[in-house]
Amino acid sequence: MVVTVPTDRLAADLGELPEDVELLVWPMDGPAPRGALDMVVPPYMSMKTVLSRLEGVETGLIQSQSIGYEGVEDLLPSGHVFANAASVHETSTAELAVGLAIAAQRRIDRFAVDTAGGRWESVFTESLADRRVLLLGWGGVGKAVAARLAGFEVDLTVVASRARVEDGMPVHGVDELPALLGDAEIVILTLPGGDSTHRLVDDAFLSALPDDALIVNVGRGSLIDTDALVAHLERGRVRAALDVTDPEPLPEGHPLWSLAGVLITPHVGGASSAMTPRIARLVRKQIDRLRAAEEPLNVVLRG
């Protein structure tokens, strides 16, 4: 069995492998080391730019290091099985979502600037406690966000694609959004990208929110109509804390960089030390399953 990983670090994190597993470090910066590979783990943030190197290579499984996979189907050569990295990034992304909400509410971004400038200036800020939080998405990240919000004494409402009760949580369907937005002081977006969620947060969505509502996006930049968001930010209607944007990377000079009430992190939701052991565990599980001729975990595309 031949497995490739993109870095020496991940290779080391896998530990000792069975004798019948050959592990190769291939960052996909050149031709494949073999014509047939049982499993390929592409590089983390640049996966989409290198998938074409799998053309003509036989593979058993392509194991992504990301949860999201929108657009991959158009880039992945035919004949490959592709799995996402569910279970790897949920914890870290949920931490950042709650961290962004706290930072924006308590104006930690402003205090960081004051620290750099040597200024001591007290400001009365908004709390996270007692706020009405609307959480969009009840997948792995959404559930992880809800678990971390449990200790913050918020009034939580969850929305997903369809209404249901799951894991003891009443979940509203997306068709109920118009009736829910008027009460939402904080909106946290954890939804995936794709046609069904494209620009879900548009002018009508933003207009329905109360004044000074906070939008936190750790899902995908495409969830938000950026022009509509900029227009509302310019009027001081809403605030935003964004780990993902559209376009991305956010270009120099874009209005979002300079508007008041905006906090931006550069798509780092999953980029923490929590990722390292979790991606190693997932790759080890996939190796074990392939060796046992079992169905791999997290398969989302079949070429």
Active site residue 248: yes
From the list 22, 70, 126, 248, the catalytic residue is 248
What secondary structure, in 3-state letters, does 214-260 show?
EEEECCCHHHECHHHHHHHHHCCCEEEEECCCCCCCCCCCCHHHCCC
For 213, the enclosing helix (H) or strand (E) is strand 213-217
For 37, the enclosing helix (H) or strand (E) is strand 36-40
Instruction: With H, G, I as helix, E, B as strand and everything else as coil, classify residue 176.
Output: helix
What whole-number distance in Å separates Cα of residue 300 and Cα of residue 110? 41
**48 closest CA partner among 76, 79, 84:** 76
Tokens 């990722």 identify what position? 275
What whole-number distance in Å separates Cα of residue 96 and Cα of residue 25? 30
Instruction: With H, G, I as helix, E, B as strand and everything else as coil, classify residue 170.
Output: strand
Residue 221 in contact with residue 265, Cβ under 8 Å?
no
Active site residue 267: yes
What whole-number distance in Å separates Cα of residue 293 and Cα of residue 35? 21
From the list 80, 220, 239, 278, the catalytic residue is 220
What whole-number distance in Å separates Cα of residue 55 and Cα of residue 78? 8
Q: Kindly write down the DSSP assignment for every residue of 38-106, as one continuous string.
A: EEE---STTHHHHGGGGTT-EEEEEE-SSS--TTHHHHSPTT-EEE--TTTSHHHHHHHHHHHHHHHHT
Spell out a b/e string for 82-108, using b for 16 or more CB atoms within 10 Å of the CB, else e.
Answer: bbbbbbbbbbbbbbbbbbbbebbbebb
Active site residue 220: yes
- The catalytic residue positions are 220, 248, 267
